[in-house]
Amino acid sequence: MTAPRMRTFISALVLVLLAVCVTVLPPGPAAADNSRTGRPDALPGPFTWSSTGPLISPKPDATHPIVSVKDPTVFRYRNRWHVYATTADTTGAWSLAHTGFADWASAPAAPQTFLDDNPDIGDRYAAAPQVFYFAPRKLWYMVFQTGPPVYSITTDPGDPGSWSEPKPFFDAEPPVLTENKGSGGWLDFWTVCDPTDCSLFFSDGNGHMYRSRTTVGEFPSGFRDTTIVLSEPNRFDLFEASNVYRIGDSGTYLMLVEALATKSDWRRYFRAWTADSLDGTWTPLAETEANAFIRSNNVTFAAGQPARTVDFSHGDLIRDGVDQTQTIDPCRLRFLYQGIDPAASGDYSQLPWRLGLLSRTGSSC
């Protein structure tokens, strides 16, 4: 064999051996880090935030003497921000409202529409809305509580008068809830779907987080297999206002739950967990008073401005899209939340909740 042919033969043999090694050898550390079991956390802490002042405040009218706007859900649709929220009035009645605006600077002046003027929603107790687009049915859903969880549908979420008459998700309260809620009750419902299943998460005010499931094909019917996914002996450590999001394309999910800081000032804050699937095990991410996801000790306001609130309560992360996957961009976390004047006191329904916007600072992205 001539020298040129020998060099060609050796080169070909080396390529074959490399291909065999790549095929049969186990992955090295770099490959293992990208596996579902070895992947590093997709949303590393610690977390710090900056906050605006109040952006959305009550706008009462002659028939709606509201004193608070709270429990927001937020999404971008047709080049406008849309916010649905709970309202409470001077009589202690709870209902829903909508506002929309092109940019956040316009939010304070944006008009508000009250959903009790929609005859299909009506003058009923309604609170804690979540709005999203369910792509398989090409419909928008608003999930909220009227006691038990209900949903309304529309093809145009920018028109608050278009929502349909609410329908219940369940025929009866799940037995596992009845057995564990104590003096509490199910509240603050949140829907999130993966490619095969849709999950409904909720809390009971008694230290438990629950998950029910149905298939994407059956949604919004067929919720079953209700189970406790998190629990705490102190009910205030796992209190209310849960949200669950998919973190980008990482395959990881983030759960937020509101708690009360019982070890210190009793102010409201958020704890966080992650899981590799909606039916997986929830692992602590930032869930102590000293190392919280959102709390007064990791939020700053504009230079020279006093803390406008020390309570960081029920809200919604701004999603990277509008669909049922509830996907967030881990490199641009913003959270629309309810806050309150630190000096406010009195009956809960009369507390002057306002909506502000948090932006994460110091991200590793």
* Assigned domain for 52 exists: no
Minimum mean pLDDT range among 28-37, 115-124, 125-134: 28-37
Minimum mean pLDDT range among 27-36, 121-130, 343-352: 27-36
Q: What's the pLDDT score for residue 44?
A: 87
Provide the CB-side half-sphere exposure for 195 (13 A, CA).
Answer: 2
CA distance linking residue 74 with residue 328, whole number of Å? 12
Report the CATH number that the domain containing residue 186 is assigned in CATH: 2.115.10.20
**Number of neighbours of residue 273 by Cβ within 10 angstroms:** 21
* Assigned domain for 77 exists: yes
* Mean pLDDT of the 31-44 span: 45
Burial level of 245, CB count in 10 A (0-12/13-18/19+)? buried
Q: What's the pLDDT score for residue 41?
A: 54
For the chain, how many structural domains are there in total? 1
* Assigned domain for 200 exists: yes
Q: What's the pLDDT score for residue 32?
A: 27
* Assigned domain for 164 exists: yes
- In this model, does residue 57 exceed pLDDT 80? yes
Q: What is the pLDDT of residues 95-114, one digit of tens each?
A: 999 999 999 999 999 999 99
- In this model, does residue 302 exceed pLDDT 60? yes
Q: What's the pLDDT score for residue 303?
A: 73
Assess contact for 96 and 364: CB atoms under 8 A.
no
Q: What's the pLDDT score for residue 4?
A: 42
* Assigned domain for 140 exists: yes
Domain around 145: 69-361
* Assigned domain for 40 exists: no
Please tell me whether residue 209 adopts helix, strand or coil conformation.
strand
**Percentage of the chain modeled with pLDDT above 90:** 84
188 backbone φψ class: left, alpha, beta (φ>0; ψ -120 to 50): left
Burial level of 290, CB count in 10 A (0-12/13-18/19+)? exposed
- In this model, does residue 40 exceed pLDDT 60? no
Q: What's the pLDDT score for residue 345?
A: 95
Closest C-alpha among 133, 244, 141 to residue 188: 244
Higher-confidence residue of 35 and 234: namely 234
* Assigned domain for 58 exists: no
Q: 């509008």: which residue's tokens?
A: 322
Whether this model's pTM surpasses 0.75: yes
- Cα-based distances in Å from 96 to 145, 237, 301: 11, 27, 28
- Cα-based distances in Å from 287 to 28, 112, 200, 260: 33, 35, 22, 12
* Assigned domain for 320 exists: yes
Mean predicted lDDT score pLDDT of the chain: 90
Q: What's the pLDDT score for residue 3?
A: 44
- In this model, does residue 307 exceed pLDDT 90? no
